[in-house]
Chains A and B, each alone.
Chain A
Amino acid sequence: MTYLADVAALTRKDLRVELRGRDTLPAMLLFVLSALVVFHFALPEGSGDTAAYGLLWVAIVFTALLGLARAWVPEQEHGVLDGLVLAPCDRSAIWLAKALATLAFLVAAQAVALPAFVLFFEPLDATALAGVLLADIGICAVGSLMSAMAAASRAREVLLPLLVLPLAIPLVIGGVGASVSDEGGRFLLFLALYDGVFAVLSWASFEYVVTE
């Protein structure tokens, strides 16, 4: 199917650009590790185990925001986005490729951050990890769209967190629930629902954000 081939070509491009530029992924990694250390000092004595999980999710959301803020920068330089929009491919393929690439970076950063979290704070079980993955999908899907919206504005660095944070609240609830609650399965189901609804919405509406 040409759609998948287009997405593959675009995703490969995104990964290649990041590998060459090498500025987003190291920043995300360093940020999340620094954040975890800050949290150690931010947690007062005797806060309880569950507080750490909450802070993990704060770290995840803000690391994702860091990655998302830079997501469309390569397309802003030299106005390439117009070139992609002009191409005969489906505009939603551009969004999908960007979301997949951002997801790859986020997961890569977490591959280091999660073991660090387990080392510094609390263990993470399979449910918690599944929660992290599902929430990653959600935030990359929605965030890629919002980032494209914000990219057109003059206040993009400030605007992106404002647009994404309210939408991230259900993800944090789902993620913390998956990490902490006994009925983690319910929260995983909820995260899957969130992903389904918002991924489809983002996929369908990207076209309208990049055309006029």
Chain B
Amino acid sequence: MIRARDLERRYGRRRVFTGVDVVVPRGGFGVVTGPNGSGKTTLLRLFAGLAQPTRGALMVDTDRSRIGYVAHEPLVYRELTAVENLDLFGRLYHVPERRERIGMLLERFSLWEARNERVSTYSRGMTQRLALCRALLHDPDLLVLDEPYSALDENGASLLDRELESLAGDRTFVIATHDPGRLDRLATTTVVLA
């Protein structure tokens, strides 16, 4: 699914990382770890297709419509409600049976009661859960998650654990975290950035 060889990403003279080799097979579970500032976010952005490497070869075996991405930021509109946000992305991704799918996801992530409230009223955990809904909405083959546990409390974290278990198998995951212990049993590939 993902094949990267000698990847480098520079911003002008600032080198974020260099010489990265990664292979994540289809259905695999990739974990990216490293201290803060080591370039985990940048590497994940490359995988998601938001940026190009400045050197090296990157091959991601799927197109934009089948990639789900969760960033540090939730990537949702503050002034819209959960339903409106998911409806917009549902339309953009041409999700079939949009309304039903939105309802199901909001239920699974305990956001059903707050579905018609604006995101600006949500707690950080709720916003992060909505971001996960957004990423899963279009049933992606590849999920790129950038430190998804960081904004979640215990409940949210167990929800996410449960989701990851149920989704694993035919989907490919790449997760960045600085708590690799949590994902040890699921991980098939590990990348450590210095």
Instruction: Consider the complex of A and B and state whether they touch directly, i.e. have CB atoms less than 8 Å apart.
Output: yes
* Residues of A that sit less than 8 Å from B by CB: 2, 5-6, 9-10, 13, 16-17, 20-21, 74, 77-80, 82-89, 211-212
A9 to B134, CA, bound (A): 16
* A84 to B75 Cα, complex, angstroms: 9
User: Is there an interface contact between A21 and B79, defined as CB atoms closer than 8 Å?
Assistant: yes
Closest 5 CB pairs of A and B: A79-B73, A83-B75, A88-B65, A87-B92, A20-B79
Q: In the complex, what residue of chain B is closest to A76 when comparing beta carbons?
A: B73
Q: Told that A78-B127, A83-B69 touch, could you supply 6 new A-B pairs with CB distance under 8 A?
A: A6-B91, A6-B92, A20-B79, A82-B50, A83-B75, A86-B67
Q: B77 contacts which of A74, A86, A89 (Cβ < 8 Å)?
A: A74
Q: Majority SS of interface residues in chain B?
A: loop
Is B78's CB under 8 angstroms from A13's CB? no
**Selected contact of B79 from candidates A2, A10, A74, A211, CB within 8 Å:** A74
Q: List B52-67 residues whose CB lies under 8 Å from chain A.
A: 52, 63-65, 67
Within 8 A of A (CB), among B37-96: 48-52, 63-65, 67, 69, 71-80, 84, 88-89, 91-94
Known: A17-B77, A20-B118, A77-B78. A83 touches B134 (CB 8 A): yes
How many chain B residues touch the partner (CB < 8 A)?
Answer: 31
A-B contact pairs, 27 of them (CB 8 A): A2-B94, A6-B91, A6-B92, A10-B88, A20-B118, A74-B78, A77-B78, A78-B73, A78-B74, A78-B75, A78-B77, A78-B78, A78-B127, A79-B72, A79-B73, A82-B71, A82-B75, A83-B69, A83-B76, A83-B134, A86-B67, A86-B69, A88-B63, A88-B65, A88-B92, A88-B93, A212-B50
Complex: chain B residue closest to A85, CB-CB: B50
A81 closest partner in B (C-beta): B75
Distance to closest chain B CB from A9 (angstroms): 4
Q: Which residues of B contact A16 (CB under 8 A)?
A: 79-80, 84
- Complex CA distance for A74 and B49, rounded to whole angstroms: 22
Which of A6, A74, A87, A212 counts the most chain B CB atoms within 10 A?
A: A87
Nearest neighbor of A13 in chain B, beta-carbon distance: B88
